[in-house]
Chain A
Amino acid sequence: QSALTQPPSASGSPGQSVTISCTGTSSDVGGYNYVSWYQQHPGKAPKLMIFEVTERPSGVPDRFSGSKSGNTASLTVSGLQAEDEADYYCSSYAGTNNFVFGTGTKVTVL
């Protein structure tokens, strides 16, 4: 199984929006509506930000939103804040108790 493809970096000024893409195949992203997004600060465990493509867990700000078209999913962070600076990883269920992760995107708040 191959990792999902994400851009290595993305950036924006405070208050702006940034969108991160996550490209897979019909065996993972395109085959299931089970795409998740994780935020990871240095030295910390990943934190679930989006699940089932568009859903936010309790406590996650509505500035975070997800979408999917075909084999590509996207995460948009609107109204960027300093604390949003982190690494972001997408993940997709790939059937039979299996998951695949993205290559990761470092988001910088300018």
Chain B
Amino acid sequence: QVQLQESGPGLVEPSETLSLTCTVSGDSISSNYYWGWIRQPPGKGLEWIGSIYYSGSTYYNPSLKSRVTISVDTSKNQFSLKLRSVTAADTAVYYCARAFVVVDHWGQGTLVTVSS
């Protein structure tokens, strides 16, 4: 059974970098799937942030591309998200997920608040 678990700080100061890690269990991150990040601001809808293949190939949402980096660590079966220069508008629940033409497994989500 595939499980994903997000981890990282729940509070980030404005202009700093948001960093989250997703640990995958029940599947190899080197399998034929993409591994992605999705966020949901409080009371709002879902937004695809971007994804990575185990080889390192990435896709980023054009609206966030200048601030986002997604990386993978196959030795730890983990992938990570970095979002730079955050503002209050980046406050959201961040989900990690597994995808291949469908996002079929999600983490439980972690709330990240941007505030001083």
Contact = CB atoms under 8 A, between A and B. Distances in A.
A97 interface: yes
A7 to B, nearest CB: 13
Contacts, number: 58
B36 A45 contact: no
Given A1-B61, A97-B59, A104 B45 contact: yes
B11 interface: no
Interface residues of A, number: 24
B89 interface: no
Contact of A46 (B34, B47, B101, B106): B106
A78 B45 CA distance: 24
A32 B102 CA distance: 11
A69 interface: no
A64 interface: no
A45 B95 contact: yes
Interface centre among A34, A45, A102 (most CB of B within 10 A): A45
Contact of B99 (A32, A57, A99): A99
Interface of B: 34, 36, 38, 45-48, 51, 53, 57-59, 61-63, 95, 99, 101-104, 106-109
Given A97-B51, A97-B59, 8 more contacts: A1-B63, A34-B102, A45-B109, A48-B103, A52-B102, A98-B48, A101-B38, A103-B45
26 contacts: A1-B61, A34-B101, A36-B102, A36-B103, A38-B46, A45-B106, A45-B107, A45-B108, A45-B109, A46-B46, A46-B106, A51-B104, A57-B104, A89-B46, A91-B46, A91-B102, A97-B34, A97-B59, A98-B48, A98-B51, A98-B61, A99-B48, A99-B103, A101-B38, A103-B45, A104-B46
